[in-house]
Structure 1
Amino acid sequence: MIMKDRNGWDGKLRVDDESQSERRAVLANPEALEDPDYSDEDALPVEEIGPDEDLLEDEDPNVERLCLRQNQISRIEFPAQLGSTLKELDLYDNLIGHIKGLDHLVNLTSLDLSFNNIKHIKNISQLKLLTDIYFVQNRIATIEGLDDLVHLKNLELGANRIREIQNLDNLKNLEQLWLGKNKITEMKNLSALSNLKILSIQSNRLTSITGLSDLHSLEELYISHNALTSLSGLESNKNLRVLDLSNNQISKLENIAHLSQLEELWASNNQLSSFEEVERELKDKENLETVYFEGNPLQTKSPALYRNKVRLALPQVKQIDATYVRLS
């Protein structure tokens, strides 16, 4: 699973081989990869910052956004005057092990501590204006410490060590929840999230779709790379526009005929074998533009005929796998 950007675990990016070759970076000095003592004599000198130097000394005291990505920051310490103005704090990819030093930053709306060494979510309950939290790729095992953040709209906890979805009942304004690449075995404790529009729970340990019956506002569900064998459990999610089921063990395309708003269905690398099921479940979907069925028996058993058969079954689609369909 690839995280395209800070919007979370995308899955939408499909780049063909030709595009990949065009975009591949070429090293001007490949010997640098083999020689640990290699140095480029023509390179500009690196500016070193002394350990006691104040990074914010010359900064505008009314700063609203502060980004200190990819450094070696291990402890959060900021001047008190930042508390009245700072709204976005980005400490992505550092060495932070504990969430401390944020007490005075009460006007924060966005906090990014992704790619650090955090084990526990705590000491942020006073940040009541937060709408976006990014804690991707840490060591978090338990969802906790969020009860007072009632304005939260986007919560990203992908690539952690979470085994259970819990402690989200107060987050009634939450619209996006990203839990990909954890150790979750069951979708539960989601019923309070009535405004949830996007749920990403890719690369976990799910064997069935459960716990979504109260999520009537859900528009995008990413549940690829699990161990699903069937498509039951989506009866109440009639507003789904994007459904990603790729890399599971689903053998029948069924129980999605009622998803009238469906625009994109990704079902690559399953066990789907019936074009009749494809037509039955999807032909009447007027908004359906994209389908992915590659890696299924649908495609592997008759690769020469596969694309035409999908076009005949679903004449409305504009994209089959990574290929756009030429409109007649």
Structure 2
Amino acid sequence: MKPKEDIKVMSDWFTFIINGLKSLGRHLNEEVVMKMLRSLLKSWECQDEDQEVCNLCLITINDPKELILRDNKLTKIPDVVIFKKLLVFDVSFNEITSLQGLSKASSTIKELYVSKNEVTKMEEIDHLHELQILELGSHKLRVIENLQNFTKLQELWLGRNQIKVINLCGLSCIKKISLQSNQLTSMIGLEECNALEEIYLSHNGIAKMEDLSKLVNLQVLDVSSNKLTSFDDIQYLTRLEDLWLNDNRLESLEDIAEGVSGSREKLTTIYLENNPCVRSPSYSNILDGLFSTP
């Protein structure tokens, strides 16, 4: 590397050489790669803003299946076009403001983690047909979009955003979804996702439990810290095991027996703390009755 060249110029040359050698059928081992890296000027030191390039230089030769670049102060999606067999790509805990650049990522990716950044739009992801896990929590997202091609998606994590409406684009295979700490006021939008096993909707402004009756595979339902006033639309959830209803506005337990009538054999946990109903003198007796053996 010449004295006035920066690390990005060096990286471009490094990638050009590696790709050229691969095209000729030459595969370098780790020892040779390290010799190439040590040929840099001894006075050069990797700065924080260049950490992305440092990491890519060190792993380029191996064409890995997992690329983990967490907490590296990245400000954009790195160019990973050279990695043709990626299965896991993780750029969480950085300073990325846009998903632009993901369109160049391999369509083989099955797990994509971009949590705790500053992204505002779900874009350049629709080619990831093999995706099974998508983590986009702790951003500034307002709309759920561009999911229609994810026919294999099983887990969607969108907590701590600014989403107001649930729109899952008919994801029939999804099993877990988290929309905690958003701006939801309704549960409508889940009814077509009948493979769902776990739903996390805590810390929103939801006032009514609805569109749940078709989710016959549901095992965990977390609607704590909302504005619920009654138990609705859960009597057909025969596989329900965990029900989180704490920190709501439930005044009475009159409907709870009917509400969990279908899940009594499976239900092992129900949280009702910090609701007005817990002040009822019959609170403990009613709950004991729910779990007592006939």
Range class of TM-score, shorter chain: 0.7 to 0.9
Query: Quick check: 1:279–1:314 contact (8 Å CA) kept in 2?
Result: no
Distance 1:305 1:192, change over 3 A: closer
Closer/same/farther in 2, CA of residues 226 and 81 from structure 1, 3 Å limit: closer
Q: Which residue of 2 aligns with 1:310?
A: 287
1:131 aligns with 2:110: yes
**Contact 1:198-1:218 within 8 A present in 2 as well:** yes
Structure 1 residue 163 and structure 2 residue 139: aligned? Answer: no
Structure 1 vs Structure 2 CA RMSD: 2.5
Match of 1:42 in 2: none
Structure 1 residue aligned with 2:123: 144
1:253 alignment counterpart: 231
Letter paired with 1:296: N
The 2-side partners of 1:180 and 1:147 are apart by 20
State the partner residue of 1:199: 177
Structure 2 residue 187 is the aligned partner of structure 1 residue 209: yes
* Residue of structure 2 equivalent to 1:86: 64
Matched residue, 2:77 = 99
* Per-residue CA distance 1:66-86 (angstroms, 9 max, x = gap): xxxxx9455532239736531
Contact preservation (8 Å) 1:179, 1:201: yes
Specify the code of the residue in structure 2 equivalent to 1:206.
Answer: L
Unaligned runs of 5+ in 2: 1-5, 12-28, 34-46
Structure-1 separation of matches of 2:225 and 2:251 = 15
Give the Cα–Cα distance (whole angstroms) in 1 for the partners of residues 231 and 61 of structure 2. Answer: 53
Is residue 74–residue 97 contact of structure 1 (8 Å, CA) maintained in 2?
A: no
Identity of aligned residues (%): 34
Unmatched segments (≥5 aa) in structure 1: 1-50, 63-70, 317-328
**Secondary structure at 1:275's aligned position in 2?**
coil
Determine the C-alpha separation between the residues in 1 that align with 2:31 and 2:94.
Answer: 27
1:203-242 equivalences under 5 Å are 203-242=181-220
Q: State the distance in 1 between where 2:179 and 2:195 align.
A: 17
Tell me the residue number matched to 2:159: 180
Q: Which shifted more, 74-83 or 129-138?
A: 74-83
Structure 2: distance between partners of 1:166 and 1:61? 45
Aligned to 1:120: 98
- Aligned letter for 1:117? E
Contact 1:76/1:99 (8 A) holds in 2: no
Structure 2 vs 1, CA of residues 229 and 61 (structure 1 numbering), >3 Å: closer, same or farther? farther
Alpha-carbon distance between aligned partners in 2 of 1:263 and 1:60, rounded to the nearest angstrom: 53
Write the letter of the residue equivalent to 1:215: C
- For residues 210 and 285 of structure 2, the distance between their equivalents in structure 1, rounded to whole angstroms, comes to 28
Equivalence for 2:21: none
1:17 aligns with: none
More deviation, 99-108/223-232: 99-108
For 1:76, the equivalent position in structure 2 comes to 52
Inter-partner Cα distance in structure 2 for 1:60 and 1:234 = 58
Aligned-residue offset at 1:306: 3.2
Q: For the residues of structure 2 that align with 1:105 and 1:272, how far apart are their CA atoms? A: 52
Asked if structure 1 preserves the Cα contact closer than 8 Å seen for 2:108 and 2:130, the reply is yes
C-alpha contact 1:100 1:123 (8 A) present in aligned 2: yes
Distance 1:73 1:288, change over 3 A: farther
TM (normalized to structure 2)? 0.79
Which secondary structure state, in structure 2, belongs to the residue aligned with residue 174 of structure 1?
A: coil
Which structure has the greater CA radius of gyration?
Answer: 2
CA distance in 1, matches of 2:262, 2:31: 57
Aligned to 2:222: 244
Bigger proportion of residues as helix: 2
Contact 2:196 2:218 in 1 (8 A): yes
Q: Which residue identity lines up with residue 223 of structure 1 in the other structure? A: L
Alpha-carbon distance in 2 for matches of 1:82, 1:73:
19
On the 8 A contact 1:130/1:152 being kept in 2, the answer is yes
Q: Distance in 2 between matches of 1:264 and 1:116?
A: 34
CA distance in 2, matches of 1:153, 1:105: 19
Distance in 2 of aligned mates of 1:292 and 1:191: 31
**Contact map agreement 1:130 1:151 (CA 8 A) in 2:** yes
